[in-house]
Amino acid sequence: MHPLATATGAGAPSGAPPLVVEHVSKSYDADGHIVPVIGDLSLTLSEGEIVAIVGPSGCGKTTLLNTLCGLLAADTGRIRWHGRDIAGQPAGVGYMLQKDLLLPWRTALKNVMLGLEIRGVPLSDAEERSHVMLDQLGLHGFADHYPTTLSGGMRQRVALARTLVNEPDVLLLDEPFAALDFQTKLLIESDTARLVRESRRSVLLITHDIEEAVSLADRVIVLTKRPTRIKAVYEIDLGTARTDMIAARESTGFSDYVRRIWADLDVGR
């Protein structure tokens, strides 16, 4: 799998959650020394659910995502996508990273179209779908701009459009907003929440930003240090629409969730 190209899954068993992880572990061999990274981790991602994962720096969050999507093989355990054991890289999954990975010789429109081109979608259809997605993400009028002429926030919107235009069932997001300024981050978080919730997509978000996790997610999973395991799970109920990041941050209970998750992370102790 690559963040530039995804395909929509088909033929999934009826009623199966998009992702089920059972007792997965993963270690690395570092010069003959086995370094455990993930230790006996289980989770479920339901249809239409946004789940955020937070944990101490270096605890293995990116390794976890890479294992879940088949870029790395788990040592033990079981990973099922739509009820089927993982075999290679699953269909219907979009993977977006912190770096936008835009191709500098392609315009914004052509970058968004890339995955569709790889899948053989007719050119006119690919162009129309990509224009619509750019417009939905506030980039009307920028289709013919090259990445070097775009701000960091605009480039990340193009990367998000490139992921969403393929209509993935599930989005794996690895700190995609971490490098953005606060205002731009809030705007793109709101756009992302609106688009994925309208389409009932599922999202697994890795982030180091607790406020981002609480404002975006239906559920926040807190990981331990390596070998990482699940330390706590929070069901987030803010009593407000979950597409407005300012409203979410101003809601009753938001600060309490943030304080409790921060305490669970046990940072610096």
**Segment 155-191, tens digit of pLDDT:** 999 999 999 999 999 999 999 888 888 988 898 899 8
Compute the chain's Rg from CA coordinates: 18
Question: Tokens 């995609």 map to which residue?
Answer: 176
Contacts of 6 (CB under 8 A, 6+ apart): 91, 92, 93, 94, 95, 115, 163, 166, 168
Which class for 169: exposed (0-12), middle (13-18), buried (19 or more C-beta within 10 A)? buried
Give pLDDT, residue 267: 57
Distance from chain centroid for Cα 35: 26
In the β-sheet with 33-45, what is the strand arrangement from edge to edge? 33-45, 19-30, 76-81, 84-85
pTM above 0.75, yes or no: yes
Structure tokens at 113: 């179209």
CATH number of 19-102+169-265: 3.40.50.300
Q: Where are the domains of the chain?
A: 19-102+169-265
pLDDT in 10s for each residue of the chain, 269 residues? 344 334 444 444 557 899 999 999 999 988 888 999 999 999 999 999 999 999 998 899 999 999 999 999 999 999 999 999 987 888 889 998 888 889 999 999 999 999 999 889 999 999 999 999 999 999 999 999 999 999 999 999 999 999 999 999 999 999 988 888 898 889 889 989 988 999 999 999 999 999 999 999 999 999 999 999 999 999 999 987 788 899 999 998 999 999 999 999 975 54
As a whole number of angstroms, the distance between CA 225 and CA 37 comes to: 9
Give pLDDT, residue 10: 41
CA distances from 215 to 156, 159, 224, 254 (A): 19, 22, 21, 8
Give pLDDT, residue 3: 40
As a whole number of angstroms, the distance between CA 173 and CA 157 comes to: 13
Give pLDDT, residue 11: 43
Structure tokens at 101: 């990975």
CA distances from 128 to 76, 82, 102, 245 (A): 44, 30, 20, 29
Contacts of 22 (CB under 8 A, 6+ apart): 42, 77, 78, 79, 80
